Amino acid sequence: MSENTPRVVVTGLGLVTPLGISIDENWNALMEGKSGIGPVTRFDSSRLPTKICGEVKDFDSEKYISKKEARKMDTFIQYVIAATSMAFEDSELSTENKESERWGAIIGVGLGGLPSIEANKELIQEKGPGRLSPFFIPTLLANLAAGQVSIRWGLKGPNSCTVTACASGNHAIGDSMKCIQRGIADVMVTGGSESCITELGMGGFCAMKALSCRNDDPESASRPFDSERDGFVMGEGSGILILENYDHAIARGGKIYAELVGYGLTSDAYHITSPDPDGYGASRCMQMALDDATIAPEDVDYINAHGTSTPTGDRLETAAIKNTFGDHASQLAVSSTKSMTGHLLGAAGGVESVYTVLAIAKECIPPTINYEKPDAECDLDYVANSPRKANVNIALTNSFGFGGTNATLLFKKVE
Q: Show the 3-state SS of the chain.
A: CCCCCCCEEEEEEEEEECCECCHHHHHHHHHHCCCCCEECCCCCCCCCCCCEEECCCCCCHHHCCCHHHHCCCCHHHHHHHHHHHHHHHHHCCCCCCCCHHHEEEEEEECCCCHHHHHHHHHHHHHHCHHHCCCCHHHHHCCCHHHHHHHHHHCCCCCEECCCCHHHHHHHHHHHHHHHHHCCCCCEEEEEEEECCCCHHHHHHHHHCCCECCCCCCHHHCCCCCECCCCCECEECEEEEEEEEEHHHHHHCCCCCCEEEEEEEEEECCCCCCCCCCCCHHHHHHHHHHHHHHCCCHHHCCEEECCCCCCHHHHHHHHHHHHHHHHHHHHHCEEECCHHHHCECHHHHHHHHHHHHHHHHHHCEECCECCCCCEECCECCECCECCCEECCCCEEEEEEEECCCEEEEEEEECCC
Domains and CATH numbers, the chain: 8-251 (3.40.47.10), 263-412 (3.40.47.10)
pLDDT at residue 186, as a whole number: 97
pLDDT at residue 73, as a whole number: 96
Q: From the centroid of its chain, how far is CA 117?
A: 23
pLDDT at residue 415, as a whole number: 79
Active site positions, annotated: 166, 306, 343
Report the candidate in 210, 212, 208 with the shortest Cα–Cα distance to residue 53.
212
Counting as low any pLDDT under 50, the low residues of the chain are none
pLDDT at residue 96, as a whole number: 77
Tens digits of residue pLDDT in 294-338? 999 999 999 999 999 999 999 999 999 999 999 999 999 999 999
**How far apart are the C-alpha atoms of 236 and 346, rounded to whole Å?**
9
pLDDT at residue 2, as a whole number: 64
Tens digits of residue pLDDT in 125-155? 999 999 999 999 999 999 999 999 999 999 9
